[in-house]
Amino acid sequence: MKTNSILKVSIILVSLIIFGCSNSNDSVTSMDKKIDKAGLVIDEMDGVSVSIPPNAVLKTTTLKLEMHEDSAEDIPSISSIFELSGMTGSFEKPIVIELEYKDSDSLNTDNLAIATAKSIDGPWHILPGCVVDTKNNVIRVETMEAGFFTIVSGTDWDTDYDTDTEICTDGDTSSGTIECGYNNSGVLQTVCINGIWQTVSVCVDQSDECQNGNTQAGDTLCGTNNKGVLLQNCIKGTWVDSKECIDPDICIADSTKDSTTVCGFNGNGLMEEICKDGDWTLSGVCNDLDVCTNDLSRQSDITCSTSGTYQQICKNGQWVNSTCITAGCDPAWGIYDEDSKLCWLKYTQSNVYEWASMDPCETLPMNFGNFTDWRAPTEEEYMALFNNCGFDTDSIYTTICDSCAESTKCNSLFPEYTESTDTDAIENSAIFWTSTRSECQVYVDMNNGAFNACGNVSSVNLRCVRDVQ
């Protein structure tokens, strides 16, 4: 008969020494069969067949079937003694043992039975429910346990041997001796079936609640938001809390931190993350130290002078005071000097050849800001723009100062003028009248910082100022 294709089968032929009073040269044929939940029929050995139904075992088990050629002298056996071993406890379902007997005219089949024992030395018991198949010369019976099996015959069986088939009451249960359960702290239960105690796969009398070395999630709360539980270890059959917390949360509720997402006026900030439901999520808040976008400007409410406020420019993300804007000096057309409280007109008049008795600024055709108090700057007001001014006795100039480019105040108000090292060179485009007069009207060269009067110039420019209070 073919076995299930998923089973691994190996047949081993060995020679063994047989028990006690048997011949020392008795041969024993044995085979190992690996069985799982699919079941198995073992019929390769002469004189015996074992049928194991599906789900008769809980896990893969290796059964060993051995045949003892000679009968034991202690029982009236008419067949070989077969031993089925390798099973711990009872099968989940009854298995069928089928043994073959030799046909004989003197054999009374009515007296045939299958006897079983836990060991070769007995005690032997008759298995109830035997069925004799005279057509095929076999006798079969169901049993829940492995052991030794043989065919017996004769009317003297009941008087000469331990054949009490009613050693217990069907349905009774008892604690067996086969260890089971967590850490082998229990024993398999035995049940009385057909008058014989049979071991079943029910583990009773367990004292341990777990297998040593195993772990599980306990019920002691822990973690950042008290949503985790302590891991438990099985120690000496009892679950014991460890210090390890199994926690799904990774952060404390409502706590915040900077993310890696860039934001802000100049890309220098980071988006904030907030802990919700134990995990980080963007809050929509940008943590940015910058308060403005670089290079933008605005009019602030910070006062300067007596009636002005600062224009501010954004540098490195912060507002910085730039120019003082007063009501009388609009930066659209004026340059305000807070030290002198003068508003210098950005625009100049070119080629004003002569200084008349009237200040040319008084007739300024461009009435900037609707003011009528424009005037020409004095020599002293111009000199206040330059550094290191001194009287010059060796040149045609009355006073020599650092150039506008070298002078802090002048360069901050009028950065368009470049330095000239030649004080004798007359840069007509940079020469401006002052309102000061000595023998002649004094003018200033913005490029080289030289002041003069009555010089030979072809044209002089005019820049007007007004006082802002």
Whether 136 and 24 map to the same domain: the answer is yes
Q: What is the pLDDT of residue 332?
A: 80
Do 358 and 418 lie in one domain? The reply is yes
Residues 227 and 306 in one domain: no
Same domain for 261 and 237:
no
- CATH code of the domain covering residue 126: 2.60.220.30
Q: Please answer whether residues 329 and 345 qualify as being in contact, where contact means their C-beta atoms are separated by less than 8 angstroms.
A: no
Q: Is 261 in the same domain as 227?
A: no
Give residue 173's pLDDT.
87
* Predicted TM-score (pTM) above 0.75: no
Last residue of a domain, one of 165, 196, 225: 165
User: Is the residue at 208 inside a domain?
Assistant: no
Task: Choose one of 165, 184, 199: the last residue of a domain.
Answer: 165
Q: How far apart are CA 300 and CA 280, in angstroms?
A: 40
Distance CA 376, CA 374 (A): 7
In a domain, 361, yes or no: yes
Whether 170 is in a domain gets the answer: no
How many domains does the chain fold into? 5
**Nearest to 181, CA basis, from 214, 145, 207, 213:** 207
pLDDT value of residue 7 = 28
Cβ within 8 Å of residue 409, ≥6 positions away? 337, 339, 384, 385, 386, 387
Which long-range CB contacts under 8 A does 6-10 form with residues at least 24 apart?
A: 6/36, 6/38, 7/33, 7/34, 7/35, 7/36, 7/38, 7/40, 8/34, 9/33, 9/34, 10/34
User: Domain check: are 280 and 319 in the same one?
Assistant: no
Do 279 and 230 fall into the same domain? no
What does the pLDDT read at residue 371?
81
CA distance 113 to 75: 12
Residue 26 has what pLDDT?
42
Judgement on whether residues 237 and 271 belong to the same structural domain of the protein = no
Which tokens in the block code for residue 222? Answer: 């822990």
| Residue 193 within a domain | no
Q: pLDDT tens track of the chain, all 469 residues?
A: 333 332 222 222 222 222 222 333 344 478 888 888 888 888 888 889 999 888 888 788 888 998 876 556 667 778 888 999 888 778 888 889 999 988 776 677 777 888 888 877 777 888 877 888 888 888 988 888 888 898 887 654 543 444 444 457 788 888 877 788 899 888 888 888 766 677 777 888 788 999 999 999 999 999 989 999 999 999 999 999 999 999 989 999 999 999 999 999 999 999 999 999 999 999 999 999 999 999 998 888 888 766 678 889 999 999 999 877 777 788 788 888 888 889 998 888 776 656 666 777 877 665 677 788 889 999 999 999 999 888 766 665 678 888 899 999 999 999 888 765 554 444 557 888 888 887 778 888 888 888 887 766 666 888 899 988 7
DSSP 3-state of 258: strand
Within a domain: 456: yes
Give residue for tokens 């004799």: 132
Domain encompassing residue 53: 9-165
- Structural domain contains residue 2: no
Same domain, 13 and 161: yes
Cα–Cα distances in angstroms (integers) from residue 407 to residues 200, 386, 402, 413, 424, in the given order: 111, 5, 6, 10, 19
Secondary structure class of 246 (helix, strand, coil): strand
Omega of the bond leading into 123 within 30 degrees of 0 (cis): yes
Using the structure block, give the residue that is written with the tokens 């367990």.
206
The predicted structure's pLDDT at residue 5? 30
Whether residues 127 and 16 fall in one domain: yes
Quick check: is 333 in a domain?
no
Boundary residue ending a domain (142, 165, 188) = 165
Determine phi and psi for 61, rounding to 5 degrees.
Answer: -135, 140
Same domain for 34 and 148, yes or no, is: yes
Same domain, 274 and 318: no
431 found inside a domain: yes
Q: Of 233, 208, 234, 229, which is closest to residue 218 (Cα–Cα)? A: 229
Q: Is 114 helix (H, G, I), strand (E, B) or coil?
A: strand
- C-alpha 115/C-alpha 75 separation (Å) is 9
DSSP conformation letters of 404-456: TTT-HHHHHH-TTPPP-S-TT---GGGEEEEEEESSSEEEEETTTTEEEES--
Contacts of residue 332, defined as CB under 8 A and 6 or more positions apart, other chains included, come to: none
Cα–Cα distance measured from residue 406 to residue 411, given in angstroms and rounded to the nearest whole number:
7
pLDDT of residue 304: 76
